[in-house]
A and B are shown apart, each in its own frame.
Chain A
Amino acid sequence: MAELIKVGMADLKVGKDPAILISYGLGSCIGISLYDPQTKIGGLLHIMLPDSSQSRATDNPAKFADTGIPLMLEEVLKLGASRSRLVAKMAGGAQMFAFSNGTDVMRVGQRNAAASKEILQKLGIRILAEDTGANYGRTVQIDLATGIYTVKTIDKGNKEL
């Protein structure tokens, strides 16, 4: 059995096959994975916010898309992944409560997804698949043996990305 490694909120874990990286109960947060199919090295990052420059508490780089993604990249490269082979998948960014006067605070899921995509593109990492938006929670995991990224929901079924 592959080891199940939990990734908390505003947290980042990297590893190598055999291991499954899992993050439970994402709402507006995003779970971004990087994976090198040849060395079977990968990482999973659970970000809460798009942009560290908008924040007053930046001690934890894994909290933000703009600091978390480059950090994950650095760590998987350190483990021996090849930058040119790395591919990304992502899920989350929901809006859990619908308010008619949708403020920016409420749209943070959308902004998280947009920022994550933009940063991956800037780093030249191909996004293979994504499942973002809507209004339900997701538990996400990536199996480092195969690179399969699974999205589990309570009543919207499960998906493999």
Chain B
Amino acid sequence: MSDDVSSLSAAQMDALREIGNVGAGNSATALSQIINRRIDMNVPRVSIVPLGDVPDMVGGPDAMVVGVFLRVYGQAPSNILFLLPKDSAFYLVDMLMGKNHGDTQKLDFMDESALMEIGNILSGAYLNALFNFTRISLLPSIPALAMDMAGAILSVVLIQLGQMGDHALVIETEFKTEDNGIKGHFFLVPDPGSLDTILAAVGVE
């Protein structure tokens, strides 16, 4: 397979969607247990999109979001980005810190730490499920957090992909609480070289 991801077959896309499904399913369960709410998730989108179009998946490049970023090390190095629109992030902080809905108006050190921990837990759950499915062992770095424009935050991941191609393969799942108060986007973006490893592990080289 080439390094440009635009040549994936339908069977390969299905396999990646299944990986997203088991990973995100596990993450959603973890999140649900932490905040004690039901979490709905959509069927993961596996898409190959021009680099410049990725920010449109989360409301456009100037949408204000909170992003938790983790670098994934191991046999298939990747990036994980958990993006929440600002209001969702604030609501999630309200729940985590036992405040009333609407109390959080800006993020202090503790709030950021709580959101990073959520990113950590979701990533761990995701990578665990991925391991059970593929036997590929992956370890996340410590999380980093930024609150800013979606385009600026996504550029961190996109620039690395830009070295190898003009398209990004993203495995993306949307999480929602029942009342729609919290929405989040969980992105797994394998490094270009990692894709072969993942596809080989699930038998669709």
Please provide the chain A residues from 49 to 66 with a CB less than 8 Å away from any CB of chain B in the complex.
Answer: 49, 54-57, 59-60, 63
- Would B153 and A56 count as touching, CB distance under 8 A? no
Docked-complex contact B148 and A137, CB < 8 angstroms: yes
Q: Given A25-B62, A55-B164, A56-B163: A9 and B152 within 8 A (CB)?
A: no
Give the residue name and chain of the A residue nearest to B143 (CB): A97
- A residues 26-40 near B (Cβ < 8 Å) are 26-29
Q: Does B74 contact A (CB under 8 A)?
A: no
- List of A residues within 8 angstroms of B164 by Cβ: 55-57
A137 touches B153 (CB 8 A): yes
Cβ contact of A137, chosen from B52, B152, B162, B163, cutoff 8 A: B152
User: Could you give, for residues 175-204 of chain B, a 1 whenever the CB lies within 8 Å of some chain A CB and a 0 otherwise?
Assistant: 000000000000000000000000000000
Q: Is the C-beta of A128 less than 8 angstroms from some C-beta in chain B?
A: no
Q: How far is the CB of B69 from chain A (nearest CB, A)?
A: 5
* Binary flags per residue of A1-29, CB closer than 8 Å to B gives 1, else 0: 00000001111000000000000111111
The dominant DSSP class at the A interface is loop
The residue from A25, A59, A106 contacting B166, defined by CB atoms under 8 A apart: A59
Smallest beta-carbon distance B70→chain A, Å: 10
**A82: interface (CB < 8 Å):** no
Check B152–A11 contact: CB distance below 8 A.
no
Knowing A29-B159, A96-B155 are in contact, say whether A154-B64 is a contact too (CB < 8 A). Answer: yes
Residues of A close to B23: CB separation below 8 A: none
- Name the residue on B nearest A56 (C-beta): B164
Across the interface, name the chain B residue whose C-beta is closest to A8: B52
Instruction: For residue B65, give the distance in angstroms from its CB to the closest CB of chain A.
Output: 10
Query: How many interface residues does A have (CB within 8 Å)?
Result: 33
A150 within 8 A of B: no
Q: Does A67 contact B (CB under 8 A)?
A: no
Chain A residues lying within 8 Å of B163, measured Cβ to Cβ, are: 49, 54-57
Q: Does A94 contact B (CB under 8 A)?
A: yes
On chain B, the number of residues with a Cβ less than 8 Å from chain A's Cβ atoms is 34
0/1 string, A86-104, CB within 8 A of B gives 1: 0000000010111100000
Please, how many angstroms separate the alpha-carbon atoms of A113 and B156 in the complex?
15
B39 at the interface (CB under 8 A from A): no
Q: A32–B94 Cα gap in the complex (Å)?
A: 40
- State whether the Cβ of B95 lies closer than 8 Å to any Cβ in chain A: no
- In the assembled complex, the CB of B120 is this many whole angstroms from the nearest CB of chain A, namely 14
Contact A137 B159 (CB under 8 A): no
Q: Are A96 and B51 in contact (CB under 8 A)?
A: no
Residues in B whose Cβ lies below 8 Å from that of A139: 62, 149
Given A11-B52, A24-B149, A26-B151: A108 in contact with B159 (beta carbons within 8 A) = yes
**6 further contact pairs, Cβ within 8 A, besides A27-B148, A99-B71, A139-B149:** A24-B61, A24-B149, A25-B152, A28-B155, A56-B3, A97-B146
Across the A-B interface, give the 5 residue pairs with the lowest CB-CB distance, nearest first.
Answer: A25-B151, A137-B152, A25-B61, A27-B152, A27-B155
Name 9 A/B residue pairs within 8 A (Cβ), A-sorted.
Answer: A25-B60, A25-B149, A27-B148, A56-B165, A57-B162, A63-B162, A96-B67, A105-B160, A137-B153
